[in-house]
Amino acid sequence: MQKKETIQSVLNTYKNCITYCDSGNVKYVDFYDNGDVISEDEENFETEYIKPKHFYFKRKNKFDDKQYIIKANEEKVLVKWFMIEGNEGSGEVESLSSAIISEPNGIAQIIAALLFPNDKQYKQKLLGSSTIEFFDDCIINGIDCFCFKTKYLGDLMTFWVDKSNLTIQKIYSKIPFENSHDNYLMESLESEMTNDEFSEIASVLNSSGYTEKTILFNKVIIKGE
């Protein structure tokens, strides 16, 4: 089988499944352009899907109570969140795709785009890019995987895929960012800090760099038609 045909088979594995469940963790590391680490964070997640309408997703920060939960069935879609103290809530939304798009860190969207590739929100598929770069095979969590990089949902991502059942085991992306803040915020900070404190935080707030996001799937179970 040709490599691009293999990737299409991966897409079909997710698109044609009847049930799907996973669990895993995602690690974020922010870097300055020079490679120095700004901050690190880590979250656990789990997903459950039963065709056609049952969908559950939960993302929870490993170090505090921040979380985002989506529950959907044939009757309604509910979202519950707790981001920081004093910022929590829940409510019904009009569609599953709108709940998924609203999930702040994009983990639900990466998974949903595989499960629902025909949804108008997720038209950019793995083969949507003309450039697909393949790498040497490797072992992830004791699983023999093939590896490739392509543009997916607007970002360059590297995928590691289980050769035996064509499930994705790991995803990596490196996304540039540039912080910018309005003058009101900078003036407020300056009035509350010493010159040395303000100089230090200003260098961070106005910095540019990149975020490395690594998604590691500890469990993936797919049952097809």
pLDDT digits (tens, 9 = 90+) for 153-163: 878 899 999 99
Domain ranges of the chain: 3-224
For residues 177 and 198, which has the higher predicted lDDT (pLDDT)? 177
Alpha helices in 16-151 (DSSP H): 96-102, 107-115
At 214 the pLDDT is 97
The architecture that CATH gives domain 3-224 is Clam (2.50)
Alpha-carbon dihedral sign for residues 162, 163, 166, 172: positive
Phi, psi of 196 (to 5 degrees): -65, -40
When pLDDT is cut at 50, 70 and 90, the band that residue 224 belongs to is confident
pTM > 0.95: no
**Residues facing 136 on adjacent strands:** none
**Tens digits of per-residue pLDDT, 38-93?**
889 999 999 999 999 999 999 999 988 889 999 999 999 999 988 766 678 889 99
DSSP H or E segment with residue 177: strand 168-178
**Average pLDDT, integer, range 178-182:** 53
Interhelix angle 107-115/3-15, rounded to 10 degrees, is 100
Phi, psi of 219 (to 5 degrees): -145, 130
Instruction: Check if the beta carbon of residue 135 is closer than 8 Å to that of residue 147.
Output: yes
AA letter at 108? A
Q: What is the mean pLDDT of the chain?
A: 85
**Average pLDDT, integer, range 189-211:** 67
